[in-house]
Structure 1
């Protein structure tokens, strides 16, 4: 059976789709082809369950010097390639069907189209009813496997970092070889209500380094805050580094998603706001302290790893105190130690 999954969304959305990809590949004994966008494509590099990858380029994501006409020509080529593949099934990997991915499923000429929704158009041959349960997104997407007869429960998130990528990031940041614990602080988030204050990160870094000898890896989205296309947090990172000049801070300026994946792989535990970086942390199987301003936090909590979640008052992460984050961080450490001891017993 030839299966196409359509997931043209953000980085975190695609990461949370990896259990769906794995379930179908294993239960159906096949490779799963994907239609993704150029922004999130690096997430699925080296994934053994993935076959062909078709790329959709959003006009505002096109690289410098690439014309709109070239992007549109590439879309036409993608449509032709999809039709030539002759898919048995196309799956709209979203919590609810959406017009644009449905158009792509139609253009692909798939014999069956699977999507979630009580109001699916007739072109959807296998409509999955909506549910009122507060399910995690991974569990919601797993419902899409029903029409295929898959029975496996969704597994962990799957990101595949290569040994060379690990070696490269270690060399770039001069990763210490003293075997001390390494904790990650990821300070960036797109939405204002998810942006924990820089002063609080400074205070947390001081508290963490006061309780034990350790290193702090500082992650952020590179660039200036006034960049309209991809706003970054260089200024925020510079402030934190200046205020923590006497601490063992390792700044990790990542120029790609792959570098962020490799860098987070070196951490023992990570603090981050909700967003793509949170799911990268879980995807490389690290314990996570997650800071939420999101009203539907249950939909996006770290999947498949030990975690602590804090949600700010009025659904604003800026209302979360440093003491609360610190307490949860230590609690998560203890939880991980107990789990490790039980596994080794």
Structure 2
């Protein structure tokens, strides 16, 4: 059991959408063990929306990079940020990113208890630390903080994305507009994009899958993706056979509106990307298509989800999933070799 009382806690995580969703079990555990505590979260302003409706967070402190690297404006921005967090007088600061700035900001916060990643001598900035080298899911990485604090972790560890009535109303109106979501037919989401193209299943296979889902299973399908996927949607529009059963939501939603639509889906087929974790957090089962990433670390969290990955290839996972122009000696076989047949079979097993 916990030995100390903390009345004001700051959690720092400047990473992407998926990483913020990964942090939701820890945030919930902190609130349940310290119900009196005021919990603040410092996050990158560009990814804030995915977590801003959390009932466990009392205040957000947004971090943004002002000016080019090593410029006077950048350092002025850092100074203002440090001044802001010192003013709050936190009892406990938690750094959920293996980042030198977070380690330094944590130390400069003035908090007596500071927990974070220990690597590259960053442990000197923390009072307690854990190693990021252990092979485990990122959710469990983060929950090491609870172990350090001797908290009760025999609680629900599931991811959580919260939406409100406005977003639910959007989803309802969006599906009514497209005459879907209220009949007996299942609604399957197909998420065709990812931040890095090397994580993407070929769009032609998504089209083939969509046609088979409509023809063989009689379901409705809804395509998701960001604005940069509009070119892929042109391919889908060109080759999809029954467009009356297809809904195009690519570039049409905010993050939480996307979550509301995912909540209405019976299942999501997706590349390794943020919407995959949003789907898990909203309670919709996932069939995830993985290539260069390690699904044991970054995959959908929970036994009810299915990961398809060509682990028989000796290069999988290569871990080189963040390079924008990633050169691959095997021509990205890890994604291209995933067949429509095996994805369709995984869908049928879960409907």
Task: Work out whether the TM-score is over 0.5.
Answer: yes
Cα shift at 1:122: 1.8
Alignment deviations for residues 244-273 of structure 1 (CA, whole Å, 9 cap, x no partner): 152400111334212221221110100001
User: 2:30 aligned to 24, 38, 42, which one?
Assistant: 24
Q: Is 1:53 matched up with 2:60?
A: yes
Q: Is 1:252 matched up with 2:244?
A: no
**Would the aligned equivalents of 1:120 and 1:127 in 2 still touch at CA under 8 Å?**
no
SS in structure 1 at match of 2:249: strand
Runs of 5+ consecutive residues of structure 1 not aligned to the other structure: 62-67, 223-231, 334-345
**Would the aligned equivalents of 1:91 and 1:113 in 2 still touch at CA under 8 Å?**
yes
TM-score by length of 2: 0.83
SS in structure 1 at match of 2:347: helix
Q: What is the correspondence of 1:176-191 to structure 2 with a 5 Å cutoff?
A: 176=180, 177-191=182-196
Cα distance in 2 for residues equivalent to 1:72 and 1:305: 45
SS in structure 1 at match of 2:167: helix
Which position in structure 2 is the counterpart of 1:13? 19
User: 1:197 aligned to 196, 202, 205, which one?
Assistant: 202
**Would the aligned equivalents of 1:17 and 1:138 in 2 still touch at CA under 8 Å?**
yes
Cα distance in 2 for residues equivalent to 1:159 and 1:143: 21
Which position in structure 1 is the counterpart of 2:217? 212
Which position in structure 2 is the counterpart of 1:325? 343
Cα distance in 2 for residues equivalent to 1:296 and 1:27: 32
Q: Is 1:148 matched up with 2:144?
A: no
Alignment deviations for residues 212-257 of structure 1 (CA, whole Å, 9 cap, x no partner): 32210110111xxxxxxxxx11010121122115240011133421
Which position in structure 2 is the counterpart of 1:113? 114
Which position in structure 2 is the counterpart of 1:89? 92
Count of aligned positions: 315
Q: Structure 1 residues 129, 200: CA separation in 2 closer, same or farther (over 3 Å shift)? A: closer
User: 1:240 aligned to 236, 239, 256, which one?
Assistant: 236
Q: Structure 1 residues 161, 322: CA separation in 2 closer, same or farther (over 3 Å shift)? A: same
Cα shift at 1:69: 8.8
SS in structure 2 at match of 1:299: helix
SS in structure 1 at match of 2:15: coil
TM-score by length of 1: 0.84
Q: Structure 1 residues 116, 79: CA separation in 2 closer, same or farther (over 3 Å shift)? A: closer
Alignment deviations for residues 93-119 of structure 1 (CA, whole Å, 9 cap, x no partner): 13xx32011122123222121113264
Alignment deviations for residues 57-115 of structure 1 (CA, whole Å, 9 cap, x no partner): 13599xxxxxx998876654433221111111111113xx3201112212322212111
Which position in structure 2 is the counterpart of 1:160? 162
Alignment deviations for residues 9-36 of structure 1 (CA, whole Å, 9 cap, x no partner): 0110111011111111111222421010
Q: Structure 1 residues 129, 250: CA separation in 2 closer, same or farther (over 3 Å shift)? A: closer
SS in structure 2 at match of 1:310: strand
SS in structure 2 at match of 1:39: helix
SS in structure 1 at match of 2:224: strand
Cα shift at 1:141: 0.8
SS in structure 2 at match of 1:40: helix
Cα shift at 1:193: 2.4
SS in structure 2 at match of 1:50: coil
Cα distance in 2 for residues equivalent to 1:181 and 1:221: 23
Runs of 5+ consecutive residues of structure 2 not aligned to the other structure: 1-5, 317-333
Cα distance in 2 for residues equivalent to 1:56 and 1:272: 29
Cα shift at 1:171: 2.1
After superposing the two structures, state which structure 1 stretch, 185-194 or 17-26, moved more. Answer: 185-194
Cα distance in 2 for residues equivalent to 1:31 and 1:298: 33
